[in-house]
Structure 1
Amino acid sequence: MGTRWSVRLVVPAPGLVADISAGVQAVLDSVVAQMSTWEEASDISRFNRGAIGAWQAMPPDFLTVLSAALRVAEESGGAFDPTIGAIVDAWGFGAAGAVASAPDHETTETLRLAAGWRRVACEVLLQRARRTDTLALDFSGIAKGFGADRAAAWLKNLGFRHFLVEVGGELVGEGVKPDGQPWWVDIEMPPDAALPPLRLALHGLSAATSGNYRRWFEVNGERFAHTIDPRSGRPAKGVASVTVLHAECMYADAYATTITVLGVEDGLQFANRLGLAAHIVSGDGSESMSLAFGAMLD
């Protein structure tokens, strides 16, 4: 995933920590082996190389993420779309590596028209999926959150009930700290925004943040950020960061990306329609929050 992970938890005996570390790493390695476009042997890379129209057998976790991604795509009218891998590569934010200049309009239009979440079929019970065009899947907007969920589930299966999992900034908090306090976390604000860190209490909650100020490139004074709007085939503009709270980090991750693409006004309408707790920082440094997020402050 190109990032780090950490876990804080209450353990009955210090000697268990080494085994826990190895176990969490194995869980995340499994997610990478299925969902990383940077790995040629991964399941997602195999899917993207497969014959157009042919069903491919895929592992359960892969199909769980694909099914969730297609659900968010439908809910958002395509503002979130896991089929834009080729567009992400064209802008230099994928496994193909950086680019010296922005792709031209003809290139992005060709790739955009070949993509589209409706061109992917996912049958979870039959453990298979297929594509009907030359699109490429990309789970960058959802896989880290899923990894945090899987690490948390692994800890729960071992009997742990009090922990904080973090994978590249995506967070899952369960139970409480030994002093009875919830897992307090500070979400950093964009550097150009004169806002204090967003302090959250995670108790049976996940938090994911999508920020457009970390990965970008500039050409002739114009900045292009890494979050791509599937509807235009170009980088999204207008939003600096979005944090979403949700019971599942996978969905918090995907919804944060979605709202970043939709922008402040449409993003708030989307969050309120689905009852999502969302905090938005716009490009000018102002902040907005959904009704559900505001209710958590009361």
Structure 2
Amino acid sequence: MKPLHFLFSFILLIGSVSVGHGQILFKQKATLMGSLFEITVVDSDTLSARKNVQAVISEITRIENLISEWKSDSEVSEVNRSAGIQPVRVSPELFDLTKRAIYYSEISEGAFDISIAAMDKIWLFDGSMTEMPTESAIRKSVEKVGYKNIVLDSIHSTIFLRYPGMKIGFGSIGKGYAADKGRELMKQTGVEGGIVNASGDIATWGLQPDKNPWTIGINNPFKPHKLIEVLKLKESAVATSGSYEKYAEIDGKKYAHIINPKSGYPSTGLTSVTIVGPSTEFANALSTSCMVLGKKAALKLVKKFPAYRGVFLTDKGRVRKAN
């Protein structure tokens, strides 16, 4: 999903360079975590820029090897294999990420849940689905889902999934976390500005070479040639969840590919949610939660966090904003 359209004041190709104010702007694409990443840095020269972009790529690869549920040797895979059997000692990084994920579940009253990785795949979002699954199949699909059954032991740094067949997965916040870590690494290295774009989950810092902020437009799928809003960003993050590219349409009703972990039913009512704030990871969690909660509850949730604001597009094409 690539829900955001970039409105740079320059045009860049893969590995291209733009010069201004004694600095160059370097941009490179890479496939990471199963998605297309685009890394942009403001740097002194091409050699330095390439080295810094490679450092970001290495950092994101490290994170993928840590949290991927698809890599058999990752810590997450070990946790999932041991579900219902025994706790697994994990690195402080994964422990803390899991602890934050549980917090996101709590503030959203279960609309966000990393244990949804265990849900049976009964919904198809490739256009082939023409009728609803049975109620019993939907209920059964989420039997192994429930963040309250993820047991953390902070003394021993262990994660235990209480029941066999449970799983955790970080598809909902992993790319946002990686974008944040890439930005953090570049700031520590001394890179003055740039963007880590993880397939639409975006972390920015600093300014462009011409000293202007980064400019990003939010697309309106109902009006492809119009933007909902243009964002001017320095150090910020943007994340969007949406149903307009992956959904099932049954009896004239659209069902998003984002599933309610409690009910097993796809979210309805909102076509997209864009969250802007300091952390891409938290913006990820909020956007996913808001899609599940629906407009009214989503507005209330975002208003609890003044550092973040939300732009909501309903299934009827109406725009609502929070904060």
Please classify the TM superposition score into its range, dividing by the shorter chain length.
Answer: 0.7 to 0.9
Letter of the structure 2 residue corresponding to residue 140 of structure 1? G
Letter of the structure 2 residue corresponding to residue 4 of structure 1? L
- Using the TM superposition, name which of 81-90 and 258-267 deviates more: 81-90
Distance 2:234 2:249 in 1: 40
**1:279 partner SS:** strand
CA spacing shift, 1:34–1:92, aligned 2, 3 Å: farther
Aligned twin of 1:278: 310
**1:84 partner SS:** helix
Letter of the structure 2 residue corresponding to residue 5 of structure 1? F
**1:29 partner SS:** helix
Q: How does 1:253-264 map to 2 (within 5 A)?
A: 253-264=284-295
CA displacement at 1:224 relative to structure 2 = 3.5
Query: After superposition, what is the alpha-carbon deviation per residue over 1:16-44, rounded to whole angstroms, capped at 9, x for unaligned?
Result: 12222322211111222122233333322
Q: How does 1:179-194 map to 2 (within 5 A)?
A: 179-191=210-222
Distance 2:135 2:63 in 1: 34
Q: How does 1:92-107 map to 2 (within 5 A)?
A: 103-107=133-137
User: What's the TM-score once normalised by structure 1's chain length?
Assistant: 0.87
Letter of the structure 2 residue corresponding to residue 127 of structure 1? S
Q: CA RMSD in A?
A: 2.4
Distance 1:98 1:47 in 2: 34
- Using the TM superposition, name which of 7-16 and 262-271 deviates more: 7-16
Q: How does 1:149-160 map to 2 (within 5 A)?
A: 149-160=180-191
Is 1:127 aligned to 2:165, yes or no? no
Query: After superposition, what is the alpha-carbon deviation per residue over 1:118-147, rounded to whole angstroms, capped at 9, x for unaligned?
Result: 100234563321111232112121111001
CA contact 2:238–2:276 (8 Å) conserved in 1? yes
Aligned twin of 1:211: 242
Letter of the structure 2 residue corresponding to residue 32 of structure 1? E
- Using the TM superposition, name which of 40-49 and 148-157 deviates more: 40-49
Aligned twin of 1:228: 259
Structure 2 residue aligned with 1:114, among 144, 149, 154?
144
CA spacing shift, 1:103–1:30, aligned 2, 3 Å: farther
**Larger Rg over CA atoms:** 2
CA displacement at 1:53 relative to structure 2 = 5.0
Aligned twin of 1:178: 209
Letter of the structure 1 residue corresponding to residue 149 of structure 2? R
CA spacing shift, 1:229–1:205, aligned 2, 3 Å: same
Aligned twin of 2:75: 43
Query: After superposition, what is the alpha-carbon deviation per residue over 1:101-133, rounded to whole angstroms, capped at 9, x for unaligned?
Result: 764322331342332111002345633211112
Distance 1:288 1:266 in 2: 13
**1:255 partner SS:** helix
Distance 2:169 2:132 in 1: 20
Structure 1, unaligned stretches of length 5 or more?
293-298
Is 1:59 aligned to 2:91, yes or no? yes
CA displacement at 1:174 relative to structure 2 = 0.8
**2:196 partner SS:** strand
CA contact 1:85–1:137 (8 Å) conserved in 2? yes
Distance 2:34 2:124 in 1: 15
Distance 2:218 2:134 in 1: 36
CA contact 1:170–1:207 (8 Å) conserved in 2? yes
**2:227 partner SS:** coil
**1:229 partner SS:** coil
CA spacing shift, 1:60–1:89, aligned 2, 3 Å: farther
Structure 2 residue aligned with 1:32, among 64, 69, 79?
64
Size of the aligned set, in residue pairs, is 288
- Using the TM superposition, name which of 70-79 and 266-275 deviates more: 266-275
